[in-house]
């Protein structure tokens, strides 16, 4: 049984962890914290979590007795807390972006913070199990991927060496529900009046997931940024609660056979419990992945075979956050990767 603490358990990702861990046979939730609700019972604050009778503790509480701590707190707080947790011998899955980028200058540019624990950046495993299982399994610290990055990378990387034949940067046109863009009541961009019956692009060329996508796309593909240019990523805010749909535009130097694209995605998905590639002529929508740890992928091209559109769908709070975090936990503790998720 894995003894678990969740720091920041009352936020969107923290609560999603609680929903999912409730049915996990090898997880025992020992400690829950919330700066807003400390001293109150979980099931009184959130009646839908009726099985959790624990009291929310302050975020600074000692985590002694926990094997693993999920951090569902802001970037600055994670930067301060992670080194202390590791010193205590506790393994950590961090859902913030504090340890995703290796370049501290790039981190400072996009996160508007100075990185105070650069010595941990090389050690941190990037928590995309489809590509980093071995490192995740042995890790003390797993940096859970961003929701946009998960959808984009799983829509690109299965194409392998075909990506060397792109003659221009991939264009990732991604749309997220409000919970993926923060969803804070006090935020003018995501409050009801601003979102309802509206649709907007935001943080163009400045979103924190832009360098994350670029870093791992460069690491894991033959695409040459120095020759062809960096990935173009534009996030949009949808007036829905949850879900991310990413439409990825690719242009190849020469025609690529549909069978080749289909074969690469199908072969990749065959070995993955949470990646599903759709039949030719079918594309995913948001409802296909709602409340699941699944990523759905579809692909279409024009008659030339040079222009391809890849569409991915995922739930930003599950595969884009808490579900993927549990998938990583399962790997870290030698459990069945699907436990608590299927």
Specify whether 87 is located in the same domain as 184.
no
The CATH number of the domain holding residue 67 is: 3.40.50.720
Give all strands (DSSP E) within the chain, no chain letters.
2-7, 27-33, 68-71, 91-94, 125-126, 141-143, 171-176, 200-201, 232-237, 244-251, 275-277, 295-301, 307-314
Query: Across residues 187-201, what is the average pLDDT?
Result: 85
The verdict on 176 and 210 lying in the same domain is yes
Is 156 inside any structural domain? yes
**Which token pair is 131?**
């590509």
- pLDDT average, residue stretch 70-97: 97
Domain check: are 152 and 119 in the same one? no
Q: Are residues 253 and 302 in the same domain?
A: yes
Domain encompassing residue 278: 148-316
Residues serving a catalytic function are 147
Q: How many CB atoms lie within 10 A of CB 339?
A: 17
Q: Say how far apart CA 187 and CA 194 lie, in whole Å.
A: 10
What average pLDDT is seen over the chain?
A: 96
Q: What does the pLDDT read at residue 117?
A: 98
Q: For Cα atoms 180, 175, 72, give the angle at the middle one, nearest 5 degrees.
A: 15
pLDDT of residue 193: 84
Residue 227 is predicted with a pLDDT of: 84
Residues 197 and 108 in one domain: no
Per-residue pLDDT, 273? 96
Q: Would you place residue 187 in the very low, low, confident or very high pLDDT band (cuts 50, 70, 90)?
A: low
Question: Which of 123, 138, 159 is where one domain is finished?
Answer: 123
Is there a single domain that holds both residue 184 and residue 278?
yes
**Residue carrying structure tokens 């956050």:** 321
Residues 246 and 282 in one domain: yes
In a domain, 333, yes or no: no
- The verdict on 42 and 174 lying in the same domain is no
Task: Give yes or no for a contact between 314 and 289, defined as CB atoms under 8 angstroms apart.
Answer: yes
> What is the CATH number for 297?
3.30.360.10
Q: Looking at the domain assignment, is residue 250 inside a domain?
A: yes
Length of the chain: 342
84 belongs to a structural domain: yes
Q: What is the C-alpha separation between 276 and 255, in angstroms, rounded?
A: 25
Does residue 169 sit in the same domain as residue 235?
yes
Q: In this structure, are 231 and 178 located in the same domain?
A: yes
**Percentage helix, strand, coil, to 5, in the chain?**
35, 20, 45
Q: Are both 152 and 295 inside the same structural domain?
A: yes
One domain, residues 166 and 82: no
Is the pLDDT assigned to residue 185 strictly greater than 60? no
The model's pLDDT over 117-175, given as tens digits with 9 standing for 90+, comes to 999 999 999 999 999 999 999 999 999 999 999 999 999 999 999 999 999 999 999 99
Q: How many domains does the chain have?
A: 2
Predicted confidence (pLDDT) at residue 184 exceeds the cutoff of 80: no
**CA-only gyration radius of the chain, Å:** 20
The reply to whether 44 falls in a domain is yes
Please tell me which residue, 8 or 180, carries the higher pLDDT value.
8
Residue at 336 is within a domain: no
What is the arithmetic mean of pLDDT over 256-261?
Answer: 97
- CB-based contacts of 303: which residues, under 8 Å, 6+ apart? none
Residue 302 — very low, low, confident or very high, per pLDDT cuts 50/70/90? very high
Q: Over range 289-308, report the average pLDDT.
A: 98
Q: What is the pLDDT of residues 20-78, one digit of tens each?
A: 999 999 999 999 999 999 999 999 999 999 999 999 999 999 999 999 999 999 999 99
């Amino acid at each position: 049984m894995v003894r678990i603490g969740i720091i920041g358990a009352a936020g969107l990702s923290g609560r999603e962890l609680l929903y999912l861990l409730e049915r996990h046979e090898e997880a025992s939730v020992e400690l829950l914290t919330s700066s807003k609700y400390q001293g109150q019972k979980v099931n009184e604050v959130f009646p839908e979590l009726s099985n959790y009778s624990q009291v929310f503790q302050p975020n600074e509480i000692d985590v002694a007795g926990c094997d693993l701590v999920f951090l569902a707190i802001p970037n600055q707080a994670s930067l301060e807390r992670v080194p202390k947790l590791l010193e205590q011998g506790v393994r950590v899955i961090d859902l913030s972006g504090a340890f995703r980028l290796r370049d501290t200058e790039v981190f400072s540019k996009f996160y508007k913070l100075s990185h105070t624990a650069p010595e941990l950046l090389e050690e941190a495993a990037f928590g995309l199990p489809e590509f980093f299982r071995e490192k995740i399994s042995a890790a003390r610290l797993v940096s859970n991927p961003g929701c946009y990055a998960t959808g984009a990378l799983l829509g690109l990387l299965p194409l392998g060496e075909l990506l060397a034949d792109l003659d221009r940067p991939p264009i990732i046109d991604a749309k997220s529900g409000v919970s993926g863009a923060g969803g804070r009541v006090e935020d003018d961009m995501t409050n009801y009046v601003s979102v309802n019956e509206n649709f907007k692009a935001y943080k163009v060329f400045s979103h924190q997931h832009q360098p994350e996508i670029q870093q791992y796309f460069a690491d894991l593909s033959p695409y040459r940024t120095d020759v062809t240019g960096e990935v173009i990523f534009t996030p949009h805010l949808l007036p829905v609660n949850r879900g991310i749909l990413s439409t990825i535009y690719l242009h190849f130097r020469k025609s690529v056979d549909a069978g080749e694209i289909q074969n690469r995605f199908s072969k990749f998905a065959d070995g993955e419990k949470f990646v599903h590639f759709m039949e030719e002529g079918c594309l995913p929508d948001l409802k296909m992945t709602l409340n699941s740890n699944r990523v759905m992928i579809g692909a279409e091209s024009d008659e030339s075979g040079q222009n391809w559109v890849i569409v991915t769908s995922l739930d930003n709070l599950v595969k884009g956050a808490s579900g993927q975090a549990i998938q990583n936990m399962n790997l870290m503790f030698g459990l069945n990767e699907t436990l608590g998720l299927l």
